Structure 1
Amino acid sequence: MQNRTRKPADAAAAGRPETIPSRSAAKADIGPPGASSTLFVNSVDKAMRVLTVFDDKHSRLSLSQIAALADLDLSAAQRFTFTLTALRYLVKDPFTKTYSLSPRLLDFAFHYLASNDLLNRATPYLRQLSQETEETCNITVLDGTDIVFTLRMVSPHVLTPHVITGSRLPAYCTAPGLAILSRLPENHVRDILENSDLVQHTPHTVVDRRGIAKRLAAFRKQGYSHTEGEYYIGDISTAAAIVDAHGHPVGAVNVAVSRTRWRGAKDEQRIADLVIAAAAAISGQF
């Protein structure tokens, strides 16, 4: 989903709590790959745009709001919302006439999770890693310029409880993302960085492309990546790439620790050894 400039939602006025939204590292206004092909079905693209305008800041939307956010005219928005409501992917409130996402959309998440070989294989290893470290452990995969959390085991000490399965974070400044990038060909990494919005999220974020390339070389050599407060202040993360039988990265496993629980180099080496072992156990079967 591409970032779009959005009008202020009515959530605050309605008294609904606001949470930190998932952020994408992708630059705005980059069209979907293949959009210029004669095989590309524009109506499918438009239907997906309608579904993806809903998020934590836009949980209920009027037809005119959907049209504006999805960049559709009102007539097209009406047709797509009617169809998606008939298919039970949207729910229309009979009183306010606003739309919201239906639980039926969770069917897609269920089918993805149930059919994913990586997650099926990784689950017992991630559970063991969580028990050994008593910290939050994750499996993430690369999607465009982002990492996506596909499996998450949260500890009582979690620093970022709003990060859930399906959340996106930029690959260039997160330990799992950097672990995956460190195992990709240089031209692939270059394309990802060129299409990323290299934002200085904290004073510790590395946004210089040469600096990123230098640390990727170091991470590749040592077999794991490590970041401290580069996206969330106080969050320390150590990750290792999960690779297929050809050595291509298919995801990453990481352990996230709060700064208040961190004991420096001793913890880094201990957790690095654990994530490397977990990634190695999961790898090679795809």
Structure 2
Amino acid sequence: MTAKKTVSVVILTRNTPLILLKKCIDSVKSQTYPALEILLMDANDPSSTYKEAIQSDTELQNGLIYLEHPDHNECIHAVNEATAQATGHFLVLITSQDIMPKERIECCMDFFEKNPSCNVLATNVAIQQNTISENDDLSLTSAKLSYVSQLIFCRYCFDMVSGFDAGLVAHADEDFIFKLYQNNTISHINTEQTTIYCNSDHSLTDSDKRCAIGYRQLLVKYAVYLQKRTDLKKDLLFSIANSYRQEHFYLRYLQFYWKAKLTKRKKERS
């Protein structure tokens, strides 16, 4: 019987209430796929009540590798550090507010086995509207790849793109997805058993202005690639415009809104 390839699941937690963190960890521990390595990267401030709650709960830490990242607000460094310590053939990177159906990883690994040329797989995502603490919370399901949590991929793919770019002001997740697009063909699986549930809040602290600047960094960084992918370029421009609108920078909003509209028209004429 062929041995199962190990899947490393890296969970990043920061400012997440313990009840939500436990739901996430339980959804990973209950996976039907047997060959799992679970790493919990605690990126909470050293003096926070969140870190104190995790460290005082010995049952929560059973069956996983507990890691700490001491640098304040450096979550990207934390993910890269945790991934460097992962030993699995495949990687799953999720936040502490995500929940997976128990068959998700097994279904994905079956797909990889049946499609040996595939090295990156994306699943659907269901965005929670309020809080994942409510079982009857309504959600919006989408096949569009927007979150790193939707991915499961070979370890060498992560190494090939050098992980997450900690030099970006914001949107390191989107940057990582762009890098994967450039270097791999991303397959997609659409089943109820593989759909991951993500909280739409994610405890974000970035201002909309920082978000706009982060998107603009991606626009420059991938200028050549986006000449071929005008659909992605259009999405980026609209994201920049909406971020500026939230901060009441209306001239900047109009500037990027019309750039996005013109990009759309250019694609339609081609």
What TM-score does the superposition give when structure 2 sets the normalisation length? 0.29
Q: Which has the higher contact order (CA 8 A, sep 6+)?
A: 2
Q: Select the structure of larger CA radius of gyration.
A: 1
